[in-house]
Amino acid sequence: MGLFDDIAERRILAAQDAGEFDRLPGHGRPLVITEDFSMPIEVRMAQRRLQRIQADDRFTLAAQLLARRRHRAALGVAQNPSSLSRSSTSDCEDTASSRPSTT
């Protein structure tokens, strides 16, 4: 160990003896470590970025699916307005009125 490691270790031991770690949030519970610290930092950063991109993609796909369903429901209401209840009709009409006109 180097000089800085020795200094850090002494300060940690002194803080433990003084009880400075006893009142921390989560005291007594195990740590949840999700990263593999044996991998280089560049690889871990790339993995985190990929996970964020995948989460963004799932959100985008869900939003697109919802938009398609609203569009189909709005088309169904335009063809047969009595087929839906009043509350769902107003929801679909909001979507239908926000669509650009094709005429």
Measured distance CA(99)–CA(95) in Å, rounded: 7
User: 73 and 84 in contact (C-beta within 8 Å)?
Assistant: yes
Percent of the chain scoring above 70 in pLDDT: 73
DSSP string, the chain: --HHHHHHHHHHHHHHHHTTTTTSTTTTSPP---S-TTS-HHHHHHHHHHHHHHHHHHHHHHHHHHHHHHHHHHHHHHH-GGGS-HHHHHHHHHHHHHSPP--
Summarize pLDDT for 22-63 with one digit per residue, the tens.
888 888 888 777 778 888 889 888 888 888 888 888 888 888
Q: Which has more pLDDT, 30 or 10?
A: 10
List all residues 6 or more positions away from 39 whose beta carbon is below 8 Å from its beta carbon: 47
In the predicted structure, residue 100 carries a pLDDT above the cut 60: no
Look up the pTM and report it.
0.33
pLDDT value, residue 89: 45
pLDDT value, residue 15: 94
Query: What's the mean per-residue pLDDT of the chain?
Result: 77
